[in-house]
Structure 1
Amino acid sequence: MLWIKALHIVFIASWFAGLFYLPRIFVNLAMVPPGSVAERERLLLMSRKLYRFMTLLAVPALALGLWLWLGYGIGLGPGSGWMHAKLLIVLLLMAYHWYCGRLLKRFAHGEELRGHVWFRWFNEAPVLMMLAAVILVVVKPF
């Protein structure tokens, strides 16, 4: 079980690196001046590669978490309210990941998007979700 936990943590940390950095690239994309085609294309290429890579990292992270939850019974039984809250955060993170993909497609199609300030705030969401998930897993407040 410790190997599964260790790998789960490694893949989660790697997935989060993408969740932290992709929206930061979106900030830069939102700030590209009109006519800066090369800069825009370079940022789009980086975004596409990162999104693909972070998706590949999310799959084993989620599979290993499912294995820990169902295979070893972590978070099952009485006093497991923390796990229900953590699973809600996982669903929110999956939705955030999906929405990043939608935003990337909109950038690629040149659709009008929000400004860089909105993306700066959007970039903070995974930090808050990670903080909540770690507190839930370590402290198990309920």
Structure 2
Amino acid sequence: MLWVKAFHIVFVASWFAGLFYLPRIFVNLAMVAPDSVAERERLLLMAHKLLRFTTILAVPALALGLWLWLGYGIGLQGPGNGWMHAKLTIVLLVVGYHHACGVLLRKLANGQSQRSHVWFRWFNEAPVVLLLMAVVLVVVKPF
């Protein structure tokens, strides 16, 4: 079980690293001058590769978490396991954020996004808040 936990933590941390950097590329894309085609294409390529990589990392992170939850019963038994429900809610929010990154990337690639670089900067901060909440729930288990 400790190996499963260790790999789960590594994949989750790597997944979050990608989710921290991907919106930063969106900020740069929103700031590219309209006549700078090569820069825009390079940033789009970087964003597509990073999204693919974070998706690949998300699959084992979620699978190992599911294995720990259902296979070992972590957070299923006894009173005081409300932290697990809160953690699962955060996991769903992170999956939704990941999906939103994919939607935004498609819009940026098609030239349909009218968002400013300031909006993308705020969007970039969302996973930080989710990560802090997840760490508190996993380490402190306040419920």
Give the TM-score, by structure 1 length: 0.98
| Structure 1: 5+ residue stretches without partners | none
Aligned equivalent of 2:60:
60
Regions of 4+ moved over 6 Å: none
Q: C-alpha displacement at 1:84, in angstroms?
A: 0.2
State percent identity of aligned pairs: 77
SS in 2 for 1:112: coil
Structure 2 residue 88 is matched with structure 1 residue 83: no
State the aligned residue count.
Answer: 142
Aligned equivalent of 1:132:
133
Q: Give the RMSD, CA atoms, in angstroms.
A: 0.6
Structure 2 residue 56 is matched with structure 1 residue 50: no
| Structure 2: 5+ residue stretches without partners | none
- Amino acid in structure 2 at the alignment position of 1:7: F
Post-superposition CA distance 1:83-121 (Å, at most 9, x none): 000000000000000010000000110113210011111
Structure 2 residue 122 is matched with structure 1 residue 121: yes
SS in 2 for 1:123: helix
